A and B are shown apart, each in its own frame.
Chain A
Amino acid sequence: MATPAPTSPIPADIAALSFEDALAELERIVRQVEEGRAKLDDAIAAYERGVLLKRHCEAKLKDAQARIEQIALASDGSAQTRPFSDG
């Protein structure tokens, strides 16, 4: 089976998806493949896309870093950030 290599880049259309959209499409694909009515070619294509969606979802979830900043207004009124200081 032509499983996408784990290192292959995620296509732009998938990378642009929000987490919830990617998850929703992944669920739809799984249901479609589970029903088993799709043509073999379609099923394989759906599987490949499902694998990419799953990687995209996981990537979104792995990107979980806390970064706390605080807004500071510059003299011209534009917003800038600086590290958050408590108090």
Chain B
Amino acid sequence: MDASNKTNLEPYTVGELSGALKRTIETEFGQVRVRGEISRAKRLPSGHIYFSLKDETAVIEAVIWRSSVPRLATQPEDGTEVIATGKLTTYGARSQYQLIVEALELAGEGALLKQIEERKKRLAAEGLFDPARKKPLPSLPTVIGVVTSASGAVIRDILHRLEDRFPRRVLVWPVAVQGAGSAEQIAAAIRGFNALPIDGEVPRPDVLIVARGGGSLEDLMAFNEEIVVRAAADSAIPLISAVGHETDTTLIDFASDRRAPTPTAAAEFAVPVRADLLARVREIGGRLDATAMRGLEQQRTHLTALSRGLVHPRQLVEGAWQRVDDLLDRLSRCAQVAVPNRLRDVEQLGRRLRSPAELLKERSGTLDLWTHRLQAGATRLAERKEADVERWGALLESLSYRRVLDRGYALVRDGQGVPVTQANDARGALTIEFKDGVVQAAAGIAPKRKRDGEPKDQAGLF
């Protein structure tokens, strides 16, 4: 058997085997993505870059041709974790296979975050995250579209919370939320809901929820993909994003109209609580009834009050008659009472009125009496004054210096006629008055004599 097998098997040449391996490998692994850590990277003078890609269990050789180098997103560095995209080929001369790398991207959380941040800046610069683009959510949607995985807790959480608050028609567009093709599916679902005709067989939702449960950064990467972010930003239907946990933020959250921290919260944003709304409508309806009734009642009261002011014409005439009667009555009472009163007043006044002749006669009698008394008084006064004059004249005479002259004294006057009462004042021409006449004299003609007993207080009389 062995011998026959050997004989039946055509032997390859080395070159043939090598060529067969090359064809098999290149056909089977025409395009691959490989994740691994770069080691022994070296750039040769030719411009090509050679390195090894390794993980814990294996190593594969890789090369980047010079022509691909300028297009690399990141340059190979030892120790960096990357995802290399390219094709496998063999190097027959040394019985080796190797990866021809056409694209190189960083793997690992830090690298992903950096990539996301750069994408975020670029899309923000385009205006995809502008607040002005945000659409308000409808307060009560009729149909809610949900883009998420058809299995798992997320869709159940959303449906339960909708049921609690306000049961609605819900259209679920099932998608893969991670892994290959997930971003494309999510974007297609968002655009698909928007593409539904308004009056079509399948109702177009009033609001969309794009949701996914928590996961690693890489699990959530589909919601960072540009195709998803653009679909969310382009959505004409208001869109709520709810991806991961509250602390996770993906780029779709910036493009959505509202970001919900969890899928349950997204359901709360989508619909109000029906019981609250019913209570509100009833409260407002009650106010409408109450105020309408009260308004009518007020009008009715007002009307009643006004109608009291409307009286029958007969009442008006009767009232006028009564008024006339009253006036007539008052008039006649005036005639009966007021006229006699006036007459009496006239009589009284008449009695108090006296004739001028009578008044004149009375006044002249009074005048005579007073005239008489005045004359008598005047006479008495004149007589009394006369006696007074005599008495005072006599007294005056008795006190006059002439009475002193009668008694033998003389009065000396100076040239001006002023009485001289001291010897020192007797100078020049003097006049001396005696009882019976005046004698001119001059001082100093006769020798000075001092005469005792001559009354010095002669002038004291005056």
Contact = CB atoms under 8 A, between A and B. Distances in A.
5 contacts: A29-B288, A47-B288, A79-B192, A80-B202, A86-B150
A58 B140 CA distance: 13
Given A36-B295, A43-B295, A71 B192 contact: yes
Contact of B287 (A19, A30, A69, A87): A30
A18 B298 CA distance: 34
Contacts of B299: 40
B150 A85 contact: yes
B292 A65 contact: no
Interface size class of B (residues with CB under 8 A): 35 or more
B169 A50 contact: no
The 8 A-B pairs at the shortest CB distance, nearest first, are namely A66-B167, A87-B151, A54-B285, A47-B292, A19-B140, A20-B139, A67-B169, A57-B281
Given A68-B159, A87-B150, A23 B281 contact: yes
A36 B298 contact: yes
Contact of B291 (A33, A70, A86): A33
Contacts of A87: 150-152
Main SS at interface, chain B: helix
A1 to B, nearest CB: 7
Interface in A43-87: 43-44, 47, 50-51, 54, 57-58, 60-61, 64-71, 73, 79-81, 84-87
Given A50-B288, A86-B151, 18 more contacts: A20-B139, A23-B284, A26-B288, A36-B298, A43-B292, A44-B292, A47-B288, A50-B292, A51-B288, A66-B163, A66-B169, A68-B159, A70-B171, A71-B171, A73-B192, A79-B196, A84-B170, A86-B150
B181 interface: no
Nearest to A49: B288
Interface of A: 1, 18-20, 23, 26-27, 29-30, 33-34, 36, 40, 43-44, 47, 50-51, 54, 57-58, 60-61, 64-71, 73, 79-81, 84-87
- Most central of A19, A68, A73 by chain B CB within 10 Å: A68
A40 B295 CA distance: 9
Interface in B143-173: 150-152, 155-156, 159, 162-163, 166-173
Contact of B166 (A44, A58, A64, A69): A64
B438 interface: no
Interface stretch (B21-29, B272-280, B317-325, B402-410): B272-280
Given A23-B281, A79-B196, A67 B288 contact: no
B138 interface: yes
Contacts of A43: 292, 295
